[in-house]
Amino acid sequence: MVRGKIRSLSVRDVRFPTSREQHGSDAMHTDPDYSAAYVIIETDAADGLKGHGLTFTLGKGTEVVVCAVDALSAHLVGRDLKDIVSNFRDFYRQLTSDGQLRWIGPEKGAIHLATAAVLNAVWDLWAKQEGKPLWKLLADMDPKQLVSCIDFRYITDALTEDEAYEILKNGKLGQKEREEQMLKQGYPAYTTSCAWLGYTDQQLTELCTKALKEGWTRFKVKVGADLPDDIRRCKLIRELIGPNNLMALAPLGIGVATGEQCHNRVMFKQFLQAKALQYLQIDSCRLGSVNENLSVMLMAKKFQIPVCPHAGGVGLCELVQHLILFDYICVSGSLENRMCEYVDHLHEHFKHPVVIKNAAYAVPQEPGYSTEMKEESVQQYQFPSGQVWKELTSEEQAKLE
């Protein structure tokens, strides 16, 4: 049962120096420091439960998102949680349609990343109070309640509220069997951890060899800086993984996979209407949390486009596993051409880290959205206000680690 009045919201700037070993590097982001604006909301409920949410960044600029979270906090503090989740569509609009704050959006950029962090914390708290992992909270909801969480503004030319309800109602058929299937075998994943663009050939060789021993059969390769070198690296990886494993790149006939930087449901709608993508990559922090991701997954179902989420970044695997499980169990009902990204970085900093078994996401069982970081990790990597990694001395950096 939903309970409590929100009495506080705090946000912290947490940064991990992943650029030092080139983790996360690609053609456009050559020195990413995996970071997060990390939100904690507390209520006056006797249970003492807290909601934890985050949005993913690459280091510099996290302080901007933190300021945006602070600006949005006035919409939460003092509100009953029950009032928020019982009219979630209205609350989503309050955050995204603030008459002054929307000027620096609307529904994109730092203000929308902040919206995701705040809403992720609300969903985490709601799921914890219900004693369910987020995917199960969603799966157990009545279709009408799910639809009531979605803002359909600007997308009714692609998906109406009635169409969304019919998709979710039809998704109830076979739901129990699909849920049992996921509990037994997990959701298929592919790994990006072997082939970041900044890795040396020796690293590629060692990591691909290790991944094969662990049972991985699907590999993503970062390309785009230099065509001849891209060809050379892809040839090397193909030789390493062999002809029978799937490499998420092919010289001809590959479909367009995009979405990790699509900033709202409207952009996804336009891509779908234009038939401009063949694999849709939702992101749990770029879009406006669960609410907006629901609308995109439902549009993908109508347009018969597989959802293959983006999960390269701190906490993204933990969050997106819930969304893709819900998509399969309640929306798509299919695993054809579907897989979820996985990167093997920074999971040790989470209270309930993602678990991979046989190259598949194991179904999380703990209540919440898997967003809670270990407090010692937050304290260790909380970033000093107004500074960036390269401005710190080596001694100062060592203290933060």
Q: What is the CA radius of gyration of the chain?
A: 20
Q: Which of 139, 136, 131, 91 is nearest to 115 (CA)?
A: 91
Residue keyed to tokens 């080139």: 22
**Rounded to an integer, what distance in angstroms lies between the CA atom of residue 20 and that of residue 41?**
32
Instruction: Name the DSSP letter for residue 350.
Output: B
For residue 366, how far is the Cα from the chain centroid?
18
Clarify whether 222 is annotated catalytic: yes
Among the options 310, 322, 345, 349, which is catalytic?
A: 310
Q: Which of 188, 135, 47 is nearest to 365 (CA)?
A: 135
**Rounded to an integer, what distance in angstroms lies between the CA atom of residue 262 and that of residue 182?**
28
**Rounded to an integer, what distance in angstroms lies between the CA atom of residue 179 and that of residue 133?**
13
The pair of structure tokens assigned to 275 is 């038939």
- DSSP β-ladder status, 257-258 and 246-247: unpaired
Q: Which residues pair with 108 in a beta bridge?
A: none
Report DSSP letters for 290-333, one per residue: HHHHHHHHHHHHHHT--B-----STTHHHHHHHHHHHIIIIII-
The pair of structure tokens assigned to 368 is 């919440």
**Rounded to an integer, what distance in angstroms lies between the CA atom of residue 385 and that of residue 391?**
12
- The b-or-e profile of 362-391 (16+ CB within 10 A means b, else e) is bbbeebbbbbbbeeebbeebebeeeeebee
Q: Which residues pair with 258 in a beta bridge?
A: 280
**Rounded to an integer, what distance in angstroms lies between the CA atom of residue 244 and that of residue 343?**
22
Q: Which of 171, 169, 233, 246 is nearest to 203 (CA)?
A: 233
Contact in structure between 334 and 103 (CB atoms under 8 Å):
no
φ, ψ at 94 (rounded to 5°): -60, -40
- DSSP β-ladder status, 50-57 and 6-15: unpaired
Q: Which residues pair with 13 in a beta bridge?
A: 37
- Taking residue 261's Cβ as centre, other Cβ atoms within 10 Å add up to 11
Among the options 23, 75, 132, 222, which is catalytic?
A: 222
Active site residues: 222, 310
